[in-house]
């Protein structure tokens, strides 16, 4: 039994009776614990759709996803998003009015009981992503690479088991992108976190342990 | 929860101006409500206390006419009512009143109005000069205090009030024994006459006592007053005046417990106009509660308008915060938490409005209170020291009320925000 099992995953966007798009048409694959996996595919092939479902943002799918043998539908959606997965986006999605530190700590505002020492964890993550000196800064004062590092730290603050990254280097130049990839790789080792990275760029995907290719909503 | 509270506070502080403007509505509602609670209740009791200090509950003031226009203010005019005013309070009526069971004393009164009243050695006449003519001793309960040797008015004696002292800038010791001139000036006289060509007359009195009251300024005996009226109006004698014009008023003292019955008899059987403590109290209550109701209605309307303002602001901020809602949902906020964050925001707007409103009214009260007290004192409310009374408990209720209004107004927008689909919210530009 694999750590994550995705079986015959289908997602259809229904706009009206006549118009609908089948973004995923039966995707099946497994992910092992601690793996750094990439899903590669051209634009519109259904990568974001897949990641939204894995990230617990979209529950209107058909098929089955099991993590550690447990169907993810058995989780409370918020608990799932809070403790099981952490998501990073191409657009960073930081909150403009909050400082670096506050952005990283934001998820903890919605957590009831804490499993980690938040202060210690924050210091550790700031150190790991190399933003100790920028903690008081606002997102607009950061470069793209720095903003994505903040987003990574935010995704990791509550020690999730899985990190999902939707085109994390898509808005960055290749050099910065590479440093982000290296950071993810490092975290994959040190945090023993399973990472699923989605990209349209084959070069990026080559840096990961294993590549799954998505074409028109199906894995080949 | 504390963290969510801080986050909600952060959200509304990001839009300081809008938060402030939205809370203005609540502020105005609160100001109206505070005014009612802190001003009106005391206004009513102040008037009543003041009133009962000069008006004994067992006293009735009887006249042929509706002197204060009280009854006509409370009911539509009718022919029936007009007929009633034809009654002349003459000797016969007076005797009838004396025979009514429960009546203890009957003091006929006349009022001289429109005379110029001068103090010996002073050029300027006392304004608003009503001279009341009644055989009441200076130590009667109608006067709050009396200074002087003899409380029983002599033929040419006059009592003056403490207002007269302050007007003429003289002490009570100095004014005793001084002369007071009451002069008729034809153009301004308001007394009944048998002849259009009145004569100018001057009547001289000696100050016999100083009384404290909020009623009139000068008192002479009823007989002397009647003589003046007969003289000025060129009536042949006292009898003719009483028959044709009648007493201006009769003060009827009743036995305790009989007042209502006497009042009923005088109004219904004798067709007289009676002013009693009860009529005045009823009238004041009608006035003040009417005012209070009007203010409450305005308060409620502005609270309603304010909540529409809050709903509008909160719906607007959903559109502005759509992305942010998507982000917090994506990183683990539950629908309930988003709901609570929005409710806290709208509740905070209510709180800000409430606190602002309370503070402003409090300051306004502090600033205006001395002036209001001054005005009321000039109007004869001598015993008042404070008009507004700040009531901490009511202030707390008002604050809680404005938070509640905010939270209620926030329910719809909060539910809307909570239901947002995170994927769509993140894509929202
Ligand atoms: N919310 C949506 N409503 C309708 N169609 C959608 C929606 N999201 C994605 N799609 C469609 O589904 C397909 C897959 O989209 P997406 O998963 O975003 O692809 P990718 O991330 O690989 O570019 C596309 O054809 C896109 O137009
Ligand atoms: Mg995409």
What percentage of chain B has pLDDT greater than the value 70? 87
pLDDT of residue B272: 85
Pocket test for ligand 1, best of A19, A38, A44 (most atoms within 8 A of CB): A44
Residue A3: inside a domain: no
Q: Name the minimum distance, in Å, from the CA of B294 to any CA of chain A.
A: 45
pLDDT band at B324 (very low <50, low <70, confident <90, very high): very high
Q: Is A11 in the pocket of ligand 1 (CB under 6 A)?
A: no
Range scoring the smallest mean pLDDT among A185-189, B66-70, B86-90, B247-251 = B66-70
Q: How far apart are CA A58 and CA A35, in angstroms?
A: 23
| Higher pLDDT, residue B215 or A11 | A11
Q: Name the minimum distance, in Å, from the CA of A14 to any CA of chain B.
A: 14
Q: Hey, is B69 helix, strand or coil?
A: coil
| Nearest CB partner across the interface for A110, out of B6, B14, B337 | B337
Give distance in angstroms: CA of A76 to centre of ligand 2.
26
Q: How far apart are CA A103 and CA A148, in angstroms?
A: 12
Q: Name the minimum distance, in Å, from the CA of A58 to any CA of chain B.
A: 7
Give distance in angstroms: CA of B338 to centre of ligand 1.
26
| Nearest ligand to residue A167 Cα | 2
In B331-391, which ranges are continuous DSSP H helix?
335-378
Closest Cα to residue A156, out of A177, A131, A175?
Answer: A131
Place of tokens 């997102």: A139
Range scoring the smallest mean pLDDT among B181-195, B265-279, B367-381 = B181-195
Give distance in angstroms: CA of B302 to centre of ligand 1.
48
Q: Express each pLDDT in B225-240 by its tens digit.
A: 999 999 888 889 999 9
Q: Express each pLDDT in B133-169 by its tens digit.
A: 998 888 887 787 888 888 899 989 999 988 888 888 8
Closest atom of ligand 1 relative to the A43 alpha carbon: 23
Range scoring the smallest mean pLDDT among A46-50, A127-131, B200-204, B423-427 = B200-204
Contact status of A78 with chain B (Cβ, < 8 Å): yes
Place of tokens 């992108």: A177
Query: Which range marks the domain in which residue A178 is found?
Result: 32-63+72-219
Total count of domains within chain A: 1
pLDDT of residue B267: 85
Q: Is A217 in the pocket of ligand 1 (CB under 6 A)?
A: no
> Would you write out chain A's pLDDT as a tens digit for each of its 220 residues?
899 999 999 999 999 999 999 999 999 999 999 999 999 999 999 999 999 999 999 999 999 999 999 999 999 998 899 889 999 999 999 999 899 999 999 999 888 777 778 999 999 999 999 999 999 999 999 999 999 999 999 999 999 999 999 999 999 999 999 999 999 999 999 999 999 999 999 999 999 999 999 999 999 8
pLDDT band at B294 (very low <50, low <70, confident <90, very high): confident
pLDDT band at B198 (very low <50, low <70, confident <90, very high): low
A93 contacts B423? CB cut-off 8 A: no
| Nearest ligand to residue A19 Cα | 1
Is pLDDT above 60 for B381? yes
Q: Hey, is B338 helix, strand or coil?
A: helix
Two tokens at A170? 């898509």
pTM equals 0.72
Q: Express each pLDDT in B90-130 by its tens digit.
A: 888 888 888 888 888 899 999 888 788 999 888 888 887 78
Residue A203: inside a domain: yes
pLDDT of residue B197: 57
Q: Is A90 in the pocket of ligand 1 (CB under 6 A)?
A: no
Give distance in angstroms: CA of B95 to centre of ligand 1.
104
Give distance in angstroms: CA of A43 to centre of ligand 2.
7
Closest Cα to residue B128, out of B113, B142, B109, B143?
Answer: B113
Is pLDDT above 50 for B72? no
Beta bridge partners of A162: A85, A194
Contact status of A134 with chain B (Cβ, < 8 Å): no
What percentage of chain B has pLDDT greater than the value 90? 28
| Nearest CB partner across the interface for B324, out of A52, A55, A95 | A95
Q: How far apart are CA A22 and CA A14, in angstroms?
A: 8
Query: How would you write chain A as a 3-class SS string?
Result: CCCEEEEEEEEEEECCCCCEEEEEEEEEEEECCCCEEEEECCCCCCHHHHHHHHCCCCCCCEEEEEECCEEHHHCCHHHHHHHHEEEECCCCCCCCCCCHHHHHHHHHHHCCCCCCCHHHHHHHHHHHHCCHHHCCCCHHHCCHHHHHHHHHHHHHCCCCCEEEEECCCCCCCHHHHHHHHHHHHHHHHHCCCEEEEEECCHHHHHCCCEEEEEECCEEC
Q: Give B131's DSSP letter.
A: E
Q: Give B332's DSSP letter.
A: T
B334 contacts A110? CB cut-off 8 A: yes
Is pLDDT above 80 for B132? yes
Give distance in angstroms: CA of A11 to centre of ligand 1.
10
Residue A7: inside a domain: no
User: What's the ipTM?
Assistant: 0.92
Is pLDDT above 70 for B417? yes
How many contacts (CB atoms, under 8 Å) link A and B?
58
Q: Is A107 in the pocket of ligand 1 (CB under 6 A)?
A: no
Mean pLDDT over all residues of chain B? 84
Contact status of A118 with chain B (Cβ, < 8 Å): no
CA B21 centroid distance within chain = 34
Two tokens at A56? 């617990």
Mutual angle of helices B277-330 and B41-54, in 10-degree steps: 170
A89 contacts B426? CB cut-off 8 A: yes
Contact status of A20 with chain B (Cβ, < 8 Å): no
Pocket test for ligand 1, best of A23, A53, A59, A200 (most atoms within 8 A of CB): A23
pLDDT band at B79 (very low <50, low <70, confident <90, very high): low
pLDDT of residue B233: 84
Q: Hey, is B183 helix, strand or coil?
A: strand
Chain B CA closest to residue A93? B327
Residue of minimum CA distance from atom 13 in ligand 1: A23
Q: Name the minimum distance, in Å, from the CA of B42 to any CA of chain A.
A: 48
| B195 touches B122 (CB < 8 A) | no
CATH of the domain at A130: 3.40.50.300
Residue A110: inside a domain: yes
Is pLDDT above 60 for B189? no
B7 contacts A109? CB cut-off 8 A: yes
Domain ranges of chain B: 2-52+283-427, 88-271
pLDDT of residue B263: 87
Is pLDDT above 60 for B408? yes
Q: Hey, is B165 helix, strand or coil?
A: helix
Closest atom of ligand 1 relative to the A52 alpha carbon: 17
Residue A171: inside a domain: yes
pLDDT of residue B144: 76
């Amino acid at each position: 039994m694999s750590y994550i099992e995705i079986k015959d995953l289908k997602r259809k966007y229904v706009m009206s009776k006549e118009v609908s798009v089948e973004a995923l048409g039966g995707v099946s694959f497994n992910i092992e614990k601690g793996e750094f996996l990439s899903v590669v595919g051209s634009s519109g092939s259904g990568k974001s759709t897949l990641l939204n479902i894995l990230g617990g943002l979209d529950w209107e799918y058909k098929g089955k996803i099991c993590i550690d043998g447990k169907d993810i539908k058995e989780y409370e959606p918020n608990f799932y998003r809070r403790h099981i997965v952490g998501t990073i986006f191409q657009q960073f999605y930081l909150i403009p009015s909050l400082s670096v530190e506050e952005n990283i700590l934001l998820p903890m505002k919605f957590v009831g009981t804490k499993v980690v020492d938040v202060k210690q964890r924050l210091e550790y993550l700031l150190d790991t992503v190399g933003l100790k000196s920028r903690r008081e800064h606002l997102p607009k004062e950061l470069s793209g690479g720095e903003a994505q590092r903040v987003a990574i730290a935010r995704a990791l603050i509550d020690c999730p088991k899985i990190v999902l990254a939707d085109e994390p280097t898509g808005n960055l130049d290749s050099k910065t992108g590479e440093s982000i990839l290296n950071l993810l790789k490092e975290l994959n080792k040190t945090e023993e976190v399973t990472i699923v990275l989605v990209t349209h760029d084959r070069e990026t995907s080559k840096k990961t342990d294993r590549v799954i290719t998505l074409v028109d909503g199906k894995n080949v | 929860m504390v963290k969510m509270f801080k986050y909600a506070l952060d959200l509304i502080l990001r839009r300081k101006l809008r938060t402030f403007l939205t809370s203005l509505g609540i502020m105005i509602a609160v100001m109206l409500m505070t005014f009612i609670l802190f001003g009106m209740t005391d206004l009513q009791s102040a008037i009543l206390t003041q009133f009962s200090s000069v008006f004994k509950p067992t006293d009735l003031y009887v006249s042929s006419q509706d002197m204060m226009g009280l009854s006509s203010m409370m009911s539509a005019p009718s022919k029936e009512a007009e007929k009633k005013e034809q009654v002349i309070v003459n000797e016969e009526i007076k005797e009838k009143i004396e025979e009514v069971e429960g009546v203890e004393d009957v003091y006929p009164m006349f009022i001289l109005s429109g005379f110029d009243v001068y103090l010996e050695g002073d050029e300027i006449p006392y304004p608003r000069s009503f001279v009341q003519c009644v055989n009441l001793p200076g130590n009667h309960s109608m006067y709050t205090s009396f200074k002087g040797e003899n409380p029983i008015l002599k033929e040419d004696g006059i009592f003056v009030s403490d207002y007269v002292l302050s007007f003429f800038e003289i002490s009570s010791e100095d004014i005793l024994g001084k002369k007071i001139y009451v002069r008729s000036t034809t153009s301004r006289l308001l007394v009944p006459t048998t002849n259009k060509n009145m004569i100018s007359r001057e009547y001289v009195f000696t100050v016999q006592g100083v009384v404290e009251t909020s009623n009139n300024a000068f008192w002479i005996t009823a007989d002397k007053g009647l003589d003046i009226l007969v003289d000025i109006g060129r009536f042949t004698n006292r009898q003719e005046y009483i028959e044709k014009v009648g007493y201006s008023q009769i003060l009827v003292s009743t036995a305790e417990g009989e007042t209502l019955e006497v009042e009923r008899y005088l109004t219904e059987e004798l067709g007289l106009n009676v002013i009693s403590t009860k009529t005045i109290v009823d009238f004041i209550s009608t006035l003040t509660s009417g005012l209070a109701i009007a203010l409450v209605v305005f308060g409620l309307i502005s609270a309603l308008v304010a909540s529409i303002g809050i709903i509008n602001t909160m719906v607007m901020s959903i559109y502005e915060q759509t992305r942010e809602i998507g982000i917090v949902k994506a990183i683990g906020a539950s629908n309930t938490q988003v709901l609570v964050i929005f409710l806290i925001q709208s509740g905070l707007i209510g709180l800000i409005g409430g606190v602002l409103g309370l503070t402003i009214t409090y300051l306004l009260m502090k600033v205006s209170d001395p002036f209001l007290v001054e005005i009321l004192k000039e109007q004869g409310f001598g015993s008042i020291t404070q008009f507004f009374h700040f009531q901490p408990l009511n202030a707390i209720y008002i604050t809680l009320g404005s938070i509640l209004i905010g939270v209620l107004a926030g329910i719809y927008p909060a539910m809307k925000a909570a239901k947002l689909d995170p994927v769509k919210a993140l894509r929202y530009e």
